[in-house]
Structure 1
């Protein structure tokens, strides 16, 4: 760690360049793995026999695991202290499990088994990733937090560039990017092996090179004591809205059954009912465990967090649509291919990796430019500008057919991605109690994964009903969602300390 601990001021010591590097380096491996997933999972599913309009449902593993895992990991990491510290045990466990999933995913010949490995991969990445946001808050003073998130965003971009380009690079080295039907191309399999190694090594670097502040040191830094919390001493709020959520979920399930709607909607209806049942259960029993604390803190979110939630909802609908459908859109529209075993399809799928690498490279550069703009116009307005750049990029994917010109929309997408990874967290961490960074950032993830769950359950039916066989129109939906997110950001009222990043 780059800061000296000899003195114990009320303010946390500022990190030097090496300290910020070490705190954030694990994100390189995490995002390399995410990039491999985003650019290649639809390709893997299609290679194993999935129809295009079934892709969204097969991606449901991500939002479901994030919805469950991230708040629980946040809750427990706030309360953990051991030989490896507070957050680092979760980094390490998630990295090892994600590495195993990355090895297994491209080596299965069964679609359902591939979906199971995706589930394992997403759960493991969530275990490793969730504490990293809180980790930046733990290790930096308030006025250095924007810089810390900029470092994270840079490593996210750098890891994603490598992960997105990996299949094309292996193909350039002479490793085949085609395979018989039902077999994953060798270039994709080798890329996932690279991701497994990078995940373990990069996260291991952060685990070994950073010493977390002890509970006593954390208590000395903050008046509200960021040391692990004694749950039995914390007052809880038990919401009364549980029956309403159960009723909404039950009505949705009944409508789906009565009208014969897409069966994927059962997932959404059941999820709403389960959420309500959890609220009813913790209230009826006056529980004080992890679920009770999550429900209580959800009910007590700061006002800025509630305002950000609406923008997050629209943002992540847009990005999730693009991640799912860019491969079928580009392969069909720019390469004229729908046969997943053809050379043209796999050339197009490799090009999607190049496009994703390009937008992540733009994001890495933009990470250090956005705080400059934020000092002039504020964090919320800066994020709104970034989201509008993303909307323009998504429209470009709808309209452009030349492969090289498809890099142009990636500029807007990259700016938006850099903003998504930093600006909301700069706003959020300045209004959260520091002792609850983990659980609140886990709860904030609800507004990332719930929209993804909505896409996973609804988008297949929307495609079949409104544009069957024409996946490019999903990009218009994504663009409209990003424009709505930009509008929602204009409603965010930042804390008076947050007028600049």
Structure 2
């Protein structure tokens, strides 16, 4: 039996999808993650080139978690209520993809609007647009897979989704490097400009994003309301009556805060682990580029200071070359951790079933923390020829060594995406799983917002803009997350969530 909106009806068996139609439903994920990966690996590089100083970078990045916090619940609720000739989820997916593609095309070209608006301000606005659009696309995309893929094919559907997400992440992260070292585009930029390799990477990323989403939208025919309700066991009349009821804002807020106060203990305990791990991840995304530019390529922190750059006028060729090479290499190591995460995801469930979810989760976070701290070990070094199969490149030996910490970071990333939800799911009452999972998203957004507000001040006030040390701080926070796992008590909710019992980890 399926339960929705307080009414239970016998669902009609949902037809299985042909294998390639399951691919079609998820193909847009490849493009969305391609865009996310480009943003994660290059946004700090672009903003620095446009004039952002190191301690303000995190403040620009604050828009990412804020957009997720604001946009996803609104769009998720709106798409639940939308039925028109274009579908239920598809209109939001398509609109979000178009907006994200426009943001990706305009952001690296901020220099062209200098006569009307400061490039750094324009870049920040485009970053906000991209993040909002990514979230508009992602929320209904997740729901589309759940809508269209029947339960017996759900494992296949999410496996394909995971594969496409990681493929998009690997190639999106690597693209600027490929454009420089295989195609031959210039990867250096003067102050107030963005390197051509990055500009073209964002053009290509926008095209991949829009193309893959269009493929999904035009090759996926969503079910009409009558079909959907029958397949999901929804009482359409009861649903219509409930939606017709209008609750006041104080009533809605009161219900929300009641859920917050009555959330399962496991959820509160996991929130602490989430705080430490997502605080660390945010630091990595914001500060890896300046950290390895300074620590591995030997570029002094003053070359990230817009006031100093303005005083010297022209960035020396060797400084521009070092910053360009370091920025490209960030794409390589980010692709590496995505690849290691994909590989570890294959065996993660088996390891957790053998050794327990909590020990697996804690050990994964510990390896990630040690990975961040070990960045300190890889400084400069002799020029080393590296064969990456697609091309050969010469980098400092320390840069090559950074692939080793990415093994730990990739393992931690895979665990962060899976283990909290596996642990949490047993403790949630079946009738409130969806709303509690939505609340749990706050434990992802909130630590990133806090990190954005304080990381820049820590970098400037404590570490004197030496970015490698804030990466080490991220490692400390990830290890604290591993320790915090020990305080999590796994519980199982009985039917309705009234009774909970402890289970072994």
Residues 148 and 377 of structure 1: CA distance in aligned 2, closer, same or farther (over 3 Å): farther
- 1:73–1:439 contact (8 Å) kept in structure 2: no
SS of 1:25 mapped into structure 2: helix
Secondary structure at the aligned position of 1:181 is classed as: coil
Query: Structure 1 CA distance, aligned partners of 2:401 and 2:361?
Result: 26
**How do residues 411-450 of structure 1 correspond to structure 2 at under 5 angstroms?**
411-426=407-422, 441-450=437-446
Deviates more, 1:307-316 or 1:421-430: 421-430
Structure 1's 494 and 376: CA in aligned 2 closer, same or farther, altered over 3 A? Answer: farther
Q: CA separation in 2, counterparts of 1:443 and 1:180?
A: 44
What is the CA distance between 1:478 and its match in structure 2? 1.2
Offset, 1:420:
2.4
* Residue 54 (1) aligns with residue 64 (2): no
| TM-score (normalised: structure 1) | 0.78
Distance 1:492 1:415 in 2: 23
8 Å Cα contact 2:427/2:490 also seen in 1: no
Match of residue 367 from structure 1: 345
Within the candidate set 344, 348, 351, 2:329 is matched to 351
Q: CA deviation at 1:197?
A: 0.7
Q: Does 1:493 align with 2:490?
A: yes
* In 2: Cα distance, 1:114 partner to 1:389 partner: 35
Aligned equivalent of 1:120, options 106, 126, 129: 129
Deviations 1:413-433 (A, max 9, x none): 112222223333455567768
Report what 1:323 is aligned to.
285
Q: Using the alignment, how far apart are the partners of 1:333 and 1:317 within structure 2?
A: 22
Consecutive unaligned residues of structure 1, counting only runs of 5 or more, are 1-7, 237-280
Match of 1:314 among 265, 268, 276: 276
CA displacement at 1:163 relative to structure 2:
1.1
- Equivalenced residue count is 444
Comparing 12-21 and 350-359, the one that deviates more: 12-21
Cα pair 2:17 2:149 within 8 Å, conserved: yes
Distance in 2 (alpha carbons) for counterparts of 1:372 and 1:223: 33
Q: 1:474 aligns with which of 470, 473, 477?
A: 470
Tell whether the 8 Å contact from 2:338 to 2:410 is kept in structure 1 after alignment.
yes
2:138 pairs with 1:129: yes
Structure with higher strand content = 2
Over aligned residue pairs, what C-alpha RMSD do you find? 3.3
Counterpart-to-counterpart distance in 2, 1:57 and 1:209: 40
Contact preservation (8 Å) 1:78, 1:439: no
Which residue in the other structure is 2:35 paired with? 33
Shift of 1:372: 2.5
CA displacement at 1:25 relative to structure 2 = 2.0
Label 1:197 to 1:229 Cα distance change in 2 as closer, same or farther (>3 A).
farther
Mean Cα displacement is larger for which, 27-36 or 476-485? 476-485
Instruction: Please give the alpha-carbon distance, in whole angstroms, between the structure 1 residues aligned to 2:342 and 2:239.
Output: 34
Q: Which residue matches 1:190?
A: 200
Give the 3-state SS of the residue equivalent to 2:299 in structure 1.
coil
- What's the TM-score, normalizing by structure 2? 0.78
Work out which of the residue numbers 162, 170, 174 in structure 2 matches 1:165.
174
Superposition deviation, residue 98 in structure 1: 0.2
Higher alpha-carbon deviation: 93-102 or 210-219: 210-219
